Amino acid sequence: MRVFLILLGKELRQFFLSPLAYVVILLFMLINGVSFYASISALTRSTSAHNIVTWMFRTPWFYLSYFAVFPLITMRLLAEERKLGTLETMMTAPVRASQLVLSKYAAAVIFYIVLWLPSLANLYLFQYVTAGAADLPRGPLIGSYGIVLLMGLLYLAMGLFASSLSRNQIVAAILALTLILLHYLVGFVAVHLSSARMLDLSEILNYIASVEHLSLFTSGLVDTRPVVYYISLAAFFLFLTHQVIEFRRWKT
């Protein structure tokens, strides 16, 4: 545990002392602010069955910021270590591959959570400014941020795995974005198969489709199956990353 905490502290310092990290935070806050403003505009133009929380996670601006952030967070985690040669040095030290992988993953998750805190503050600030007239339903609020966290756990694990495969950060970012988009676009394939009357396969794809989970959770309907699904798949990609690191250890 002591080694893990030392590595975690090192990774967190690299995140929060890097100028790039604050550029990412600024851009993410800016795009989320635009998404929040678009949600308010949509609600003021006409009546809607959806609340502001649901709207905020369904605007095009949300998708623009959401998928771009994972490659930016994870692309340097292992790719930079390999490029600088510090990964090989670390592999000769009394550090287990699991400690290295989990410390980098935990640091990425903490940074990802910090990214979302301003958007949550926006909602409560809006409620305060409107003197409570803006309703923040607890179900959609918990569901929306819950599914964003669960999807983030998986996509950060995918990004970490992609970073372990290359020395080049740009290549790692492109590979991570490709894996994430392929997983997400399964939902649109499910819609197409449903219209083509391939219902059995469509039901299977709907079970693993992020677009369906996002729609369900932002409506306030929390299902335990996606929780198990995302955590299990994140663990699988962390296992793959561990295997890559172990392979490089034996190769060194």
- Position 64, amino acid: L
In angstroms, rounded to a whole number, what is the distance separating the alpha carbons of residues 193 and 187? 10
Residue 252: helix, strand or coil by DSSP? coil
- The model's pTM is 0.86
Length of the chain: 252
pLDDT, residue 155, reads: 94
In angstroms, rounded to a whole number, what is the distance separating the alpha carbons of residues 26 and 20? 10
Element (H, E) at 116: helix 97-129
pLDDT, residue 191, reads: 56
User: Which parts of the chain register pLDDT below 50?
Assistant: none
Angle at CA of residue 15, ends 154 and 9, nearest 5°: 95
pLDDT, residue 202, reads: 58
pLDDT, residue 230, reads: 92
E strands, 4-160, in order: none
pLDDT, residue 195, reads: 52
In angstroms, rounded to a whole number, what is the distance separating the alpha carbons of residues 210 and 214? 6
Query: How many structural domains is the chain composed of?
Result: 1
Range(s) of the domain holding residue 46 = 2-251
pLDDT, residue 206, reads: 67
Burial letters 74-94, b for 16+ CB under 10 A, else e: bbbbbbbbbeeeebeebbeee
pLDDT, residue 132, reads: 61
Token pair for 4:
């893990």
